Amino acid sequence: MTRTTFRQYAFLAVLILVLAGSTGALLRFALVYGMPSGWGEFRNVVHAHSHTMFGWTVLALFALIWHHLPELTGQPRPRAARWQMAATFVFSLLQLPAFWPNGYQSTPIGPLNLPLGAMSAGFAGLTWFWFMGLYARAVWGVRARGLPLRLWNWAVVLLFIASLGAMAEPGLMVMDVDDPFVKTLFLHVFLDLFTTGWLLLGIFGALWAWLGKEETPAGWLPVASLAGFTIPTFLLGMPPELLSPGLFWLAALANLIVAGFVAVHFWHFWQRRHRLPRLVQFSMLGLAVQMGAAVMMLVPSIWQWGVGALRIFYLHDMLLVWASSALMGLLLAQFGNHNARTRAWMEGLWVLGVGLMWLALLAGGFASWLPLSSRTFLAIAAWASVIIVLAAMMALKLFWPWKEK
């Protein structure tokens, strides 16, 4: 695989970001002015948006991992990685049209009634298992496991657990399980372990791989302990009425320990911030919020209020501000072309759009104490989302793989 191949992967990943981001922008405007008639139902389009967005993050992180793996293992990349990446792209993208009309419900196609959304998510999930299998074979027996490799090994374990949670969703539908506790439990195993587990450890690994051996600190950095304590934290995403006080305290204390471990990595990254791409520096804002939130969540009433009022802010802090900015920064630094003007504009618009949406979603949670209405904050978030999509479109130009000078 050449640099151009990786630039192609980056292009395809960002293409998914543009499409899922435009869908997100449509939803943002729908929250202010209502969904335009004939454009589908809000909840179904949210499923289409979120599932497709996961495609952006996995494709970007898979590309970074495949890129660095040979230098870390001393062995060639698996040949099938190319096909796995193609399959991940196709099935990630298919989720957009598959979820849009009916979400998780069935869609009549000729004589058949097919749950297209669940089917497409299942196929996309299978390509993740394919990645995990190829990755496990590639690192099997490697003795000198540097920090990035150890972080990725645990990230893959967490992706495996999260994928089982995702696979349980259609399974529960088939088995007609309607228990709200069981249903939301598996939903959050998937959503939260994907976000705070796989993406967090995976991106940490990609950052240490980018910084290289010379910049890797000699002392102890949490890896297995970070992964282990992350597992129970998915419980904090559950609706408060479904969680017993015992489970809440288990998750909240584990989350605090995770925040402490994240702070150790954060501190080392901060000391090396001048060697990190600009968008990675910006992404640290999202990570700092997660650490602060872990302390606030120790007060049950704040957690209960936050799960309702700040759920979408918290999710996008983690998935957009932290994960997407860091991934975009790493992709640009390694596979982007050298068009300095476009890059400066792209980065500026990204920081402006993402920062504005972040602020508007945060302020929206406190709207009842502020002089502006929550509708005003929703409108600001909607216009900010247009800026983000514009920035992502400009990034496509930076990864354009078919005309290299």
Question: Could you list the residues that contact ligand HEM (CB under 6 A)?
Answer: 21, 24-25, 27-28, 46, 49-50, 53-54, 57, 312, 315-316, 319-320, 324, 385, 388-389
Nearest-approach distance from CB 381 to ligand HEM, in angstroms? 7
CA–CA distances in Å: residue 34 to residues 28, 29, 31, 96, 386: 9, 7, 6, 20, 17
* Nearest to ligand HEM of 336, 364 (CB atom): 364
How far apart CA 331 and CA 66 sit, in angstroms, is 13
Q: In Å, how far from its chain's centre is CA 353?
A: 18
Residue closer to ligand HEM, measured from CB, 32 or 250: 32
Of 259 and 354, which CB lies nearer to ligand HEM in the complex structure? 354
Pick 25 or 289: Cβ nearer ligand HEM: 25
76: region left, alpha or beta (phi > 0 left; psi from -120 to 50 alpha): beta
The least distance separating ligand HEM from the CB of residue 51, rounded to whole angstroms, comes to 8
The DSSP secondary structure of 322-351, one letter per residue, reads: IIIHHHHHHHHHHH----HHHHHHHHHHHH
The one-letter amino acid at 195:
T
Q: How far is the CB of 315 from ligand HEM (least distance, A)?
A: 5
Nearer to ligand HEM, 262 or 321 (CB): 321
Q: State how far the Cα of 332 lies from the Cα of 329, in Å rounded to an integer.
A: 5
**Residue whose Cβ sits closest to ligand HEM:** 24
What is the closest distance, in whole angstroms, from the C-beta atom of residue 225 to ligand HEM in the complex? 26
Instruction: Considering the complex, state which of residue 184 and residue 225 has its C-beta at the smaller distance from ligand HEM.
Output: 184
CB of 226 to ligand HEM, least distance (A): 21
Least gap, CB of 305 to ligand HEM (angstroms) = 16
Q: Which is nearer to ligand HEM, 223 or 326 (CB)?
A: 326
Q: What's the min distance (Å) between Cβ of 220 and ligand HEM?
A: 31
- CA-wise closest residue to 332 among 288, 381, 285, 391: 391
Burial of 344 (0-12, 13-18, 19+ CB in 10 A): exposed
C-beta separation of 342 from 400 below 8 A: no
Token couple for 77: 């990349």
